[in-house]
């Protein structure tokens, strides 16, 4: 089950990967492979964060609609 703690952890991991990728930069020839791996990890985490957030919002909306329809 996706909850608030999961989304917060994923957001922190996404931000940490973004900072790590920015700190490494593309100017260093030795670490360019690590930078590419970190950047792809950032993109994957950002995509997962967006998809899971939309999923939580949709689940919340369907629950509220069901609650309203059962009370009426």
Classify residue 42 as exposed, middle or buried by CB count within 10 Å of its CB (0-12, 13-18, 19+). Answer: buried
pLDDT value of residue 20: 92
pLDDT value of residue 11: 96
Q: Residue 27: is its pLDDT beyond 90?
A: no
Greater model confidence, 1 or 51: 51
* Helices 4-24 + 32-71 axis angle, to 10: 160
pLDDT value of residue 2: 83
Q: DSSP letter at 72?
A: -
Q: For the residues 8-32, what does the mean pLDDT come to?
A: 87
Greater model confidence, 30 or 39: 39
Residue 69 token pair: 């329809």
Q: How far apart are CA 32 and CA 22, in angstroms?
A: 12
pLDDT digits (tens, 9 = 90+) for 47-69: 999 999 999 999 989 988 888 88
């Amino acid at each position: 089950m996706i909850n608030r703690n999961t989304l917060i952890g994923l957001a922190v991991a996404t931000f940490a990967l973004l900072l790590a990728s920015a700190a490494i930069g593309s100017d260093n020839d030795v670490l360019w492979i690590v930078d590419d791996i970190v950047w792809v990890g950032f993109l994957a985490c950002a995509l997962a964060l967006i998809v899971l957030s939309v999923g939580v919002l949709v689940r919340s909306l369907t629950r509220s609609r069901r609650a309203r329809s059962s009370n009426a």
